Structure 1
Amino acid sequence: MEATTLSYTNLHNHGELFANFFRARHETFIGRKRWDLPQVDGMEFDQYDTAASRWVAVHDRGQVLAGVRLLPTTHSCGIYSYMIRDAQRGLLGSIPSQLLWREAPIGQHIWECSRIFVSEAVPARARLGVQFQLIHEMVLSARDLGASMVLGLIPANAPRLARRVGLDCQPIGEVMQIGEPHVCVEISLATKMH
């Protein structure tokens, strides 16, 4: 098992991994969760998968086991910025606009994580290890990109896992039903900066 952070500048070095990442997202979000999302050729994507994004993939022999997308909060593409902020601005009908207790922040040191998943193909006995590997690589990548804070809209039970692996993860909004209970969180990387 290994972890790779993909970008438009390095995807040519990783063969099918980039396409397999989007196929795994399709399997999770469209196949299993039945979310109504853009798709083509068995791959799920949206307006936040831009050249500014980074995709963290945990994989084994080409099979993507888990992943997350990172996007700078300073980026914009057309009318879109980042998912949490755009939901707050009322641009996304599928996510309530009152997901945060305050205005969505923008800063060079703040990145958003989204589309977090672990494949159903990962056996129960291996899931915790895969989750740890994903979080570890996400933290390393975010730090390398200059982030000291990451925002995310995650399943409501996920902050417990984050705390188990030593992340400072705090809710910044109410728990909301988006298919299942979700909450916006702020993950401080300051304690991980040494």
Structure 2
Amino acid sequence: MQAATISFANLHNHGELFANILRARRDSFIVRRNWDLPESMGMEYDQYDTPASRWLAVHDGAGRPLAGCRLTPTTARCGIYSYMIRDAQTGLLDSIPRDLLHGEAPVDPQVWEVTRGFVVSDLPAAQRHKVRLRLVLQMLRTSREEGITRMLALLPSNWHRWAARCKLEMTAAGREMEMGGINYQAVWIDFAPQLH
């Protein structure tokens, strides 16, 4: 099991891994959850998959992702879009309630958003926790490299059950809400204590 952080600057070093992440996202979000998202060539993508973002993957070493997520700086801009949670709050996205956060969505170079987190569906239950921990370690490594002190994520509302097991300092950033048959909640992930 290996982990990688992919950017537009280094994706050529990772073979098919980036495309396979987008394929795994399609399986997770379009096929399994039946979300109405853009897709092409068997890959899911959206307006936030830009050079500003990073894609984290835990993979088998042969290019098959086991888990992954996307990180986007809260300072990102692409046309009318910034990042998913802020764009939802400003009314650009119909699929996410505007009142998802307790306060105003941040625009701060040290705060990044985490979206499109997945664990592949055919991963045995005995390996899921180990894979999640490896993904968290990669998030920590990337936070150090990018100077990220906090992340803002939209997670299933059972996040508190596994936060302690993954040794993450997490607090609610908004209310619980139902989307696509799943309860979600915006959550702060604090990396500042671990950056020293």
Q: How much has 1:160 moved relative to structure 2?
A: 2.5
Residues 113-139 of structure 1, C-alpha deviations (whole Å, 9 max, x = no match): 000000002111100001111111012
Distance 2:53 2:189 in 1: 18
Distance 1:88 1:9 in 2: 30
- Name the counterpart of 2:43: 43
Residue segments in structure 2 that go unaligned for 5+ positions in a row: none
2:48 counterpart letter in structure 1: Y
**After the TM superposition, which segments of 4 or more aligned residues of structure 1 sit over 4 Å from their partners?**
none
Superposition map of 1:15-94 within 5 A: 15-60=15-60, 61-94=62-95
Superposition map of 1:137-148 within 5 A: 137-148=138-149
Q: TM-score by structure 2 length?
A: 0.97
Distance 2:111 2:78 in 1: 17
Q: What is the SS of the residue equivalent to 2:116?
A: strand
Q: What is the SS of the residue equivalent to 2:86?
A: helix
Distance 1:137 1:110 in 2: 16
Residues 4-56 of structure 1, C-alpha deviations (whole Å, 9 max, x = no match): 10000001011111110100000000010000000000000000000000000
Q: What is the SS of the residue equivalent to 1:80?
A: coil
8 Å contact from structure 2 (residues 38, 44) kept in 1 = yes
8 Å contact from structure 2 (residues 74, 111) kept in 1 = yes
Q: TM-score by structure 1 length?
A: 0.98
8 Å contact from structure 1 (residues 24, 119) kept in 2 = yes
Distance 1:6 1:188 in 2: 22
Distance 2:122 2:16 in 1: 18
8 Å contact from structure 1 (residues 68, 138) kept in 2 = no
Whether 2:12 is the aligned partner of 1:12: answer: yes
Distance 1:6 1:154 in 2: 22
Q: What is the SS of the residue equivalent to 1:65?
A: strand
Q: What is the SS of the residue equivalent to 2:72?
A: strand
Residues 91-121 of structure 1, C-alpha deviations (whole Å, 9 max, x = no match): 1100000000111011011000000000002
CA RMSD of aligned residues (A): 0.8
1:185 counterpart letter in structure 2: V
**What is the aligned length?**
194
Q: What is the SS of the residue equivalent to 1:173?
A: strand
8 Å contact from structure 1 (residues 70, 142) kept in 2 = no
- Name the counterpart of 1:96: 97
8 Å contact from structure 2 (residues 172, 186) kept in 1 = yes
Distance 2:84 2:34 in 1: 19
8 Å contact from structure 2 (residues 132, 166) kept in 1 = no
8 Å contact from structure 1 (residues 59, 65) kept in 2 = yes
> Per the alignment, do residues 139 and 159 of structure 1 end up closer, same or farther by CA in structure 2, a change over 3 Å counting?
farther
